[in-house]
């Protein structure tokens, strides 16, 4: 993500937004839904996030770590991720699941979290829900 965010100086807002698309949209999404992405881009350019807020969000994204608090989760938890996510590695979900008590508890009949395609994720989620 940092690589994509570099060198945005001198670009129009549209050019910058399209460069960022490589990490915000899965491959193939723009082929099918480019008009939706263009509409979203226009809304974001018309009503941009204030720069100070965007900076704070980026800092939080880069520095925030709540992994030590995951052991305190007491509710049944299914950890899912996008297998094509460019911002956060799908392996991060596997690490999270190991820290959450019962997230991958085979005894409860729940399937362990794993990296999978979106159609399989939805089937797992529907089977997992009570």
Longest dimension (CA), the chain: 56
Task: Check whether residue 35 and residue 82 sit in a common domain.
Answer: no
- pLDDT for the residue numbered 43: 92
- Give per-residue pLDDT as tens, 9-68: 788 889 888 888 877 887 788 888 999 999 999 998 999 889 899 888 888 877 888 899
Q: Can you state the percent helix, strand and coil of the chain, rounding each to 5?
A: 60, 0, 40
Could you say which of 12, 44, 63 is where a domain stops?
A: 63
Residue 112 has, within 13 A of its CA and on its CB side, a CA count of: 11
- pLDDT for the residue numbered 69: 94
Task: Check whether residue 47 and residue 91 sit in a common domain.
Answer: no
Task: Check whether residue 55 and residue 71 sit in a common domain.
Answer: no
Q: Measure the CA–CA gap between 5 and 9, rounded to whole angstroms.
A: 10
How many separate domains does the chain show? 2
Q: Which domain holds residue 49?
A: 2-63
Task: Check whether residue 73 and residue 109 sit in a common domain.
Answer: yes
């Amino acid at each position: 993500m940092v690589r994509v965010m570099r060198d945005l100086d001198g670009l129009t807002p549209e050019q910058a937004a399209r460069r960022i698309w490589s990490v915000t949209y899965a491959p193939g999404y723009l082929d099918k839904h480019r008009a939706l992405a263009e509409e979203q881009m226009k809304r974001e350019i018309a009503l941009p996030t204030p720069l100070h807020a965007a900076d704070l969000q980026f800092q939080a994204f880069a520095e925030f770590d709540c992994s030590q608090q995951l052991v305190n989760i007491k509710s049944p938890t299914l950890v899912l991720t996008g297998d094509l996510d460019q911002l956060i590695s799908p392996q991060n979900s596997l690490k999270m699941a190991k820290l959450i008590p019962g997230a991958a508890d085979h005894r409860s009949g729940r399937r362990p979290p794993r990296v999978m395609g979106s159609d399989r994720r939805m089937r797992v989620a529907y089977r997992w829900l009570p």
